[in-house]
């Protein structure tokens, strides 16, 4: 049998007016003035976003252009630029890939020091980065993090990896036949596994002599993965000529890095007497912080997975636009 509970008189005197006021409020909820409601926010999921950089004839970065200074087409059909802004502080997701194969063994310590300074200077609030080394196989030394300390710890784990090649096989040291540089596999892992599901600005920075030996994937596969992830590739050609007997063996590697960079809207740099690794890192940082963001809704709305070729030019023919060569019209995401 439930017992009845009687409130003290003073509590009853307080509670009854409050309950009455609550009932009135429920019957007549406050109305927000019509002028304060604002328009509904619309999100266009079909917009293609392009991050691009513009350089002058002399190679300097140009950051003073407006929407009207660009001409855009997709598959040779003119497109209307819907969104335009100059971007310097949009959060960045960065992957640093360091070649630790036999041909780079004398450069690893230099790469470690320069990368340490690069992480310290380039990563701002809300930026995140990861670190992959590659030689005979690829290894994730540090997962995505915004912690400079964790990235520095990852750099400390850079070490020679010069066994037989193979994506999943461990390094197998040999006496006189060191080989294995899975460059394409490492780029694919960085783009497909690490960046594909991230949003915002995404970049892959590669330090290597550009020589690939043993990748299971092709250069085309690596580029396609980067394009599908909307990731820009910056290639840094760093060749130890002593390893190659004093000869310049950079031509093949330079072509590979230049191709990957151009296809994704990036840039290829070469370490030489005039351009140190530290200086190149500064240039990459400046370029990533001096970009334009261009958005458009394609006239071809079909999401059939096909590759759409992008042609973005400056009306001033003396200016060169760095932008990815195209994108894949994927069903769910660009």
232 is written with which tokens?
């820009």
Binned at pLDDT 50, 70 and 90, residue 2 comes out as very low
What class does CATH assign to 92-289? alpha beta
Strand-pairing partners, residue 70, are: 314
- Looking at residue 180, its pLDDT comes to 78
Give the start-to-end residue ranges of the domains of the chain: 92-289
Q: What is the dihedral of CA 89, 90, 91, 97, to 10 degrees?
A: -90
| Residue 21: Cβ within 10 Å count | 10
10, 11, 16 from 20: Cα distances, Å: 16, 14, 6
- The answer to whether the CB of 227 falls within 8 A of the CB of 260 is no
Give mean pLDDT, residues 211-240.
96
- The torsion region of residue 250 among left (phi > 0), alpha (psi -120 to 50) and beta comes to alpha
Cα 207 to Cα 190: distance, rounded to the nearest angstrom: 14
Q: Which residue has the higher pLDDT, 173 or 145?
A: 145
Question: What percentage of the chain exceeds 90 in pLDDT?
Answer: 70
**Tens digit of each residue's pLDDT (9 = 90 or more) over 118-170:** 999 889 889 999 999 999 999 999 999 999 999 999 999 999 998 643 444 44
Dihedral sign of CA atoms 290, 295, 299, 300 in order: positive
**Tens digit of each residue's pLDDT (9 = 90 or more) over 198-210:** 998 999 999 999 9
**Tens digit of each residue's pLDDT (9 = 90 or more) over 60-113:** 999 999 999 999 999 999 999 999 998 767 889 999 999 999 999 999 999 999
Binned at pLDDT 50, 70 and 90, residue 34 comes out as very low
Which residue, among 163, 166, 174, 257, has the nearest Cα to 214 in the 3D structure? 166
Give mean pLDDT, residues 268-273.
94
- Looking at residue 92, its pLDDT comes to 93
Cα 59 to Cα 102: distance, rounded to the nearest angstrom: 33
141 is written with which tokens?
């030394």
pTM to 2 decimals?
0.81
130 is written with which tokens?
């990861």
């Amino acid at each position: 049998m439930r017992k009845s509970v009687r409130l003290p008189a003073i509590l009853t005197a307080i509670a009854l007016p409050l309950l009455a006021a609550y009932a009135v409020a429920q019957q007549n909820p406050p109305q927000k003035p019509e002028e304060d409601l604002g328009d509904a926010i619309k999100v266009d999921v079909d917009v293609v976003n392009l991050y691009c950089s513009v350089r002058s004839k002399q190679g300097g970065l140009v950051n003073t252009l407006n929407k009207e200074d660009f001409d855009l087409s997709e598959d040779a059909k003119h497109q209307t630029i819907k969104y335009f802004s100059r971007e310097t502080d949009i959060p960045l997701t960065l992957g640093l890939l360091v070649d630790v194969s036999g041909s780079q063994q004398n450069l690893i310590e230099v790469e470690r020091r320069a990368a340490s300074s690069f992480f310290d200077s380039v990563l701002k609030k809300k930026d995140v980065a990861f670190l992959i080394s590659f030689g005979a196989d690829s290894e994730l030394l540090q997962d995505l993090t915004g912690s400079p300390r964790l990235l520095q710890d990852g750099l400390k784990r850079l070490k020679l990896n010069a066994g037989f090649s193979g994506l999943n096989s461990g390094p197998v040291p040999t006496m006189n036949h060191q080989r294995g540089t899975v460059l394409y596999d490492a780029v694919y892992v960085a783009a497909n596994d690490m960046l594909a599901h991230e949003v915002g600005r995404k970049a892959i920075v590669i330090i290597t002599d550009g020589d690939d030996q043993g990748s299971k994937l092709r250069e085309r596969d690596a580029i396609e993965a980067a394009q599908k992830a909307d990731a820009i590739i910056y290639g840094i050609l760093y060749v130890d000529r002593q390893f190659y007997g004093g000869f310049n063996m950079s031509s093949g590697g330079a072509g590979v890095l230049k191709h990957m960079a151009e296809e994704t809207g990036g840039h290829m740099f070469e370490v030489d007497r005039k351009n140190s690794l530290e200086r190149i890192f500064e240039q990459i940082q400046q370029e990533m912080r001096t970009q334009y963001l261009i958005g458009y809704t394609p006239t071809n709305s079909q999401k059939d997975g096909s590759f759409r070729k992008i042609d973005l030019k400056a009306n001033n023919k003396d200016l060169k636009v760095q932008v990815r060569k195209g994108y894949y019209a994927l069903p769910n995401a660009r």
